[in-house]
Amino acid sequence: MSAREEPAGPDPDETHRSPDGPETPEDAAFDEIVGTETDRDPDLAVIEAGSRTLRTQAGPPAGDGVPAPPQDPEVARALREAEAELLARWPETRIDPSLERIEALLDILGEPQRAYPSIHLTGTNGKSSTARMIEALLVACELRTGRFTSPHLQSITERIGIDGAPIDAGRFVETYRELKPYAELVDARQEHPLSFFEMLTAMAFAAFAEAPVDVAVVEVGLGGTWDSTNVIDAAVAVVTPIAVDHSRLLGDTPGAIAADKAGIVKKTATSAGGGPGTVVIMAQQPVDAAQVLLKRAVEVDATVAREGMEFGVLSREVAVGGQLLTLRGLGGEYPEVFLPLHGEHMAHNAAVALAAVEAFFGVGSEHARSLDADTVRRAFATVTSPGRLEVVRTSPTVILDAAHNPAGAQATAAGVREAFGFSRLVGVVGTSKEKDVRGVLEAFEPIFAEVVVTRNSTTRAMDPDELAAIAVEVFGSERVQVEPRLDDALEAAITLAEEEDEYAGAGVLVTGSVITAGEARLLLGAQ
């Protein structure tokens, strides 16, 4: 299906202030709240300096993968125009289960998706983070990569990555303009026009072929069978943890949802000829989902590697700035792997990513060797995952997380408990109205002292008063505050956190939606 888990936001000029643009009085008032960090405890600086010894092989940080706005005003204008035209197409929330439109466009373009091998990811949670880890490993192995993920936090260009970085804004515009006349030709011949997501999918495949890349890492938008990315025949199919989300479209049990997601597992020409064929890398799954996925693998003669059986996390320790892992891959053990991300779920994502890259190189099937351990360590030490337990401010600490379903919220809550010793945590929650909002709030209830409910700028955002009514049932009225504007909600939450003693360790967690996390990231100046 041509969709993703959250819609693209409106024109950035209409909702966000550019860090280089003029400052309004409202901006100035808000900056007083979220401006310069206070001096930190000298002892903390010593601890952090020690943690950097874990990252010495990785060199300087490569950035977080979220591009700043284009400096050239003409490029910025062209990017806004291209995004506006894309958003004028069928939105990602409008579904028509068909691959006819995307196949017709790619056929005109010469099937660029067949110019390189691919690794295809589906699942409910963890897809983007796992894709970033896979990409980092492939880049460390000196391969040129393309990465297609969704949704984006701040800039639409984040969705298409080449060589580990978002596509240049100018190149994004050029790719759109090159495809536009062909898309209009397809629109005229089809019952329905190409959707927003179908256009972005085609743009990504074309940009990868033009680069050219050695391998593409492709995340589905929604589901699998009818997702517009499912025109590729990937050598490796990755299934991250499946949980109930988008139940109106995919089903209301993990097994029913797995039936749609299993569509990315296919019989390839190699497997039909008796070769190794597709390898399925399967994260830990609910029993009914695992049964569906394994049945599909048997039907198409795919090889399956299961987390907890053929690969997994052998050990993990919380470290300053992340965690230290020992991973078991398809080809052996990889000790002392520093991952600069928080939460047990990220460790499991790392194990899945490692197995996927091993499978891509034939480890465990064609030969018994493992990947170079130092290369693996270097790669994981550079991984970023913006908007996933991301610290964007201190004094008080403000964390962003894109959790938007109960399973994701439970993982986030566990990660916060483990990695941060907050004496008091204030939540800022803005969700989409079609989500299991009660389930999300119930997952966070044990860790939030108070919750400020709000909304993001999209039309899919849940009304704050409706959200507050549910929050009161979960938290009690004395723990719930309503702030319809996100900037006001952030200010209120930070004020609540600062009511604690300066050294008491209060914090703020902004969550509920990718869009909410992305807009908060802009407001807090995380560039």
Q: Which of 181-195, 310-324, 378-392, 494-508 has the lowest mean pLDDT?
A: 494-508
CB-based contacts of 257-260 (< 8 A; 24+ apart in sequence): 257/124, 257/223, 257/289, 258/285, 258/288, 258/289, 258/290, 258/292, 258/293, 259/292, 260/223, 260/224, 260/225, 260/226
Nearest residue to 126 (alpha-carbon basis) of 5, 226, 2, 233: 5
Tokens of 50: 């020690």
For 242-274, what is each residue's pLDDT tens digit?
A: 987 665 666 679 999 999 999 999 986 444 444
For 144-180, what is each residue's pLDDT tens digit?
A: 999 999 999 999 999 999 999 999 999 999 999 999 9
Whether residue 69 contacts residue 155, with contact meaning beta carbons closer than 8 Å, is answered with yes
Q: Give burial (CB, 10 Å; 0-12/13-18/19+) of 413.
A: buried
Share of the chain above pLDDT 90, in %: 74
Report the predicted TM-score, pTM, of the whole model to 2 decimal places.
0.85
148 contact partners, CB below 8 Å, separation of at least 6: 159, 160, 161, 200, 201, 204, 205, 216, 217, 218, 219, 229
pLDDT mean over 72-84? 96
Q: Alpha helices of 219-280 — where are they, by DSSP H?
A: 247-250, 254-261, 269-272
For 113-152, what is each residue's pLDDT tens digit?
A: 999 999 999 999 999 999 999 999 999 999 999 999 999 9
Per-residue pLDDT, 97: 80
53 contact partners, CB below 8 Å, separation of at least 6: none
Residue environment code for 474-486, b if the CB has 16+ CB neighbours within 10 A, otherwise e: bbeeebbbbbeeb
Share of the chain above pLDDT 70, in %: 82
Whether residue 520 contacts residue 492, with contact meaning beta carbons closer than 8 Å, is answered with no
Nearest residue to 256 (alpha-carbon basis) of 241, 239, 242: 242
3-state helix, strand, coil in the chain (%, to 5): 45, 15, 40
For 447-486, what is each residue's pLDDT tens digit?
A: 999 999 999 999 989 999 999 999 999 999 999 999 999 9
For 496-517, what is each residue's pLDDT tens digit?
A: 998 865 556 899 999 999 999 9
pLDDT mean over 435-452? 96
Pairing mode of beta strands 312-319, 118-122: unpaired
Higher-pLDDT residue of 215 and 276 is: 215
Peptide bond into 7 cis (omega under 30): no
DSSP-derived letter for residue 262 is G
Segment of 79-93, 263-277, 421-435, 502-516 carrying the highest mean pLDDT: 421-435
The CA-atom distances, in angstroms, between 506 and each of 398, 445, 482 are: 9, 16, 20
91 contact partners, CB below 8 Å, separation of at least 6: 7, 195, 196
The pair phi, psi for residue 257, each rounded to 5°, is: -65, -40
Which residue, chain included where needed, has tokens 């989902």? Answer: 289
**What whole-number distance in Å separates Cα of residue 147 and Cα of residue 161?**
5
**What whole-number distance in Å separates Cα of residue 326 and Cα of residue 301?**
31
Per-residue pLDDT, 15: 34
On the question of pLDDT at 66 being above 60, the answer is: yes
Q: Which secondary-structure segment (H or E) carries 518?
A: helix 514-523
Confidence label for 59 from pLDDT (cuts 50, 70 and 90): very low
Q: Which of 23-37, 199-213, 438-452 has the lowest mean pLDDT?
A: 23-37
Whether residue 413 contacts residue 443, with contact meaning beta carbons closer than 8 Å, is answered with yes
Tokens of 98: 């068909």
Confidence label for 386 from pLDDT (cuts 50, 70 and 90): very high
Peptide bond into 396 cis (omega under 30): yes
Whether residue 322 contacts residue 341, with contact meaning beta carbons closer than 8 Å, is answered with yes
Per-residue pLDDT, 421: 87
**What whole-number distance in Å separates Cα of residue 450 and Cα of residue 523?**
21
Per-residue pLDDT, 523: 93
SS3 323: strand
What is the average pLDDT value for the chain, to the nearest integer? Answer: 86
